[in-house]
Homo-oligomer: A and B are copies of this chain.
């Protein structure tokens, strides 16, 4: 033991210093500015840091380009059917889906930090937009206004994406599963060639709509749809069996669309009740910045759709980019991704695109096709431009039933029941958060399901804060370790001394609990010691885990001290952390308890307690003798 070593009671830093460091810590945990401070070429370094494009483009060469071109062409073949399908899901003209694979990938290629992420539209968010905005302006009633509101929502998505990152894995798992189910069920409309359908998304309404319209069912449509579905699922099965054949499954949706088009064109499918996409004009994205609609009447729905899709698209996109980066031992920067996604959608909303993110299926294909840099997105963008300029009208013959098959096939992969089982095994609360999203989305509505789940997750956080864990510590013999007596049964206490470890933080919301809990530990301890009254003479509170405290918490300590004093129990504090110590000094609590009751280690405090216990015993012995 270092006798010279003492507790640091030096006064706290000034408020402005603390505020500055606190703000920096809260807003920029990775301190991006630090690295430019002492460097030459500071401007270039900063540019490279904030715009990853400038970091990799100087070293780009033809060899890398070869890989990226191949990957880019492969993902284009996925982008065309997906763009058309998901635009249908969002109830907007299918050409918008193609536009959305032209501009946003270019923006991502400049600002994104992932090498593997492929930009594109996603099913869940498409349906979510349709659901949220369609409640206010039904797409069939006023398609132009509806489309403008979709652009506006995309704009808000972009705005919010630069600021938010706050969904738990469990919520995403449940939400994706629930969405996959309702999207699949919705495809029954296309599969059976129904003309009348519900605008609601929940399972009950959709099943009711499907089965109550039985006379509209078209067997021709169903046969074609199921054939396509079997084909798509087979290629998927092939890919799972032989990962090298990934390109078969990547090309399958495109094949489906082409076969569907040819069939529709030559067989005059429309006459047999098979609906086609129709109306796809040549030409690249027209500007849409003038269409953004910020009228207060519609602002609620667009902002709402913006926030929800921002959260989901970002969580999905970043998680996917991260998981591929880990495979390659590279690092994804969450903040840069947020900015890249945000800009991508803001610019997209100005150029007739709707919401894009980094969908799993496309990114996986991009990765497997051997992409090396974000250049593959540029290639896809270029290919898409060619399609828009020359080939778009050909796709107008795509049968809707082919799109339904493509969507359904994609959705099967999103129901991650293995993750749900793992959650159930490991953490029942996480499982409930997941199930709240799943069941809420499937049986009520997408936004309510999401809110239920996020609400549960927040509630859990608040309960954690309201009831921080405390435990009794005991010494492991022949060591200087003091461990939880519940976790390590052979950790032993000392007679007359109770050592408690308090959880963090100590706040207004939990200080009543902490006070009651400390007093209960003392009561329990006295019961254990065969009900001798006042058997405990010292209570040691280990504060080394308490990283912060507020004034109500300090007041609680003051009260515990007074209650213990009334019981002739001495209270000692172990290793208060820097933030806690500051407040104890400023509020004069340290003066009340006395500097000699604060110790750096449990060991030191025990030594002090034993010394005073022995002194007492000695005095008692003396008085016994004199009596």
Contact = CB atoms under 8 A, between A and B. Distances in A.
Contacts of A1: 478-479
A587 B479 contact: no
A548 B169 contact: no
A19 interface: yes
Interface stretch (A101-109, A160-168, A207-215, A222-230): A160-168
A484 B578 contact: yes
A171 B550 CA distance: 12
Interface residues of A, number: 95
A169 B508 contact: yes
A512 B555 contact: no
A282 interface: no
B513 A575 contact: no
Given A479-B2, A559-B322, A517 B29 contact: yes
A480 interface: yes
A326 B548 contact: no
Interface string A3-47: 001001000000100010000011001110010000000000000
Nearest to A545: B545
Contact of A464 (B480, B516, B548): B548
A426 B520 contact: no
A562 interface: yes
A93 B551 CA distance: 40
Contacts of A300: none
Contact of A551 (B329, B330, B423, B577): B423
Contacts of A330: 566
22 contacts: A1-B478, A2-B477, A2-B481, A8-B488, A15-B428, A26-B466, A34-B527, A167-B508, A168-B552, A171-B508, A426-B554, A426-B586, A430-B551, A461-B465, A464-B548, A469-B579, A471-B578, A476-B600, A479-B601, A483-B600, A504-B547, A544-B544
A297 interface: no
A171 B555 CA distance: 14
A57 interface: no
B512 A481 contact: no
Interface of A: 1-2, 5, 8, 15, 19, 25-26, 29-31, 34, 165-171, 322, 326, 329-331, 334, 422-423, 425-430, 457-458, 460-469, 471, 476-481, 483-484, 486-488, 503-505, 507-509, 512-513, 516-517, 519-520, 524, 527, 544-548, 550-552, 554-555, 559, 562-563, 566, 575, 577-579, 581, 583, 586-587, 600-601
Nearest to A470: B547
B583 A427 contact: yes
Nearest to A331: B563
A410 B507 CA distance: 31
B465 A465 contact: yes
Contacts of A168: 507-509, 550-552
B457 A508 contact: yes
Contact of A566 (B25, B329, B477, B513): B329
A464 B508 contact: no
Given A2-B477, A480-B480, A545-B544, A427 B550 contact: yes
Given A166-B509, A504-B504, 15 more contacts: A8-B488, A26-B466, A34-B524, A34-B527, A168-B507, A171-B508, A334-B516, A426-B551, A430-B550, A458-B462, A469-B548, A484-B577, A484-B578, A487-B578, A504-B545
A372 to B, nearest CB: 18
A461 B563 contact: no
B469 A586 contact: no
Contacts of A460: 507, 550
Contacts of A5: 476, 479, 481
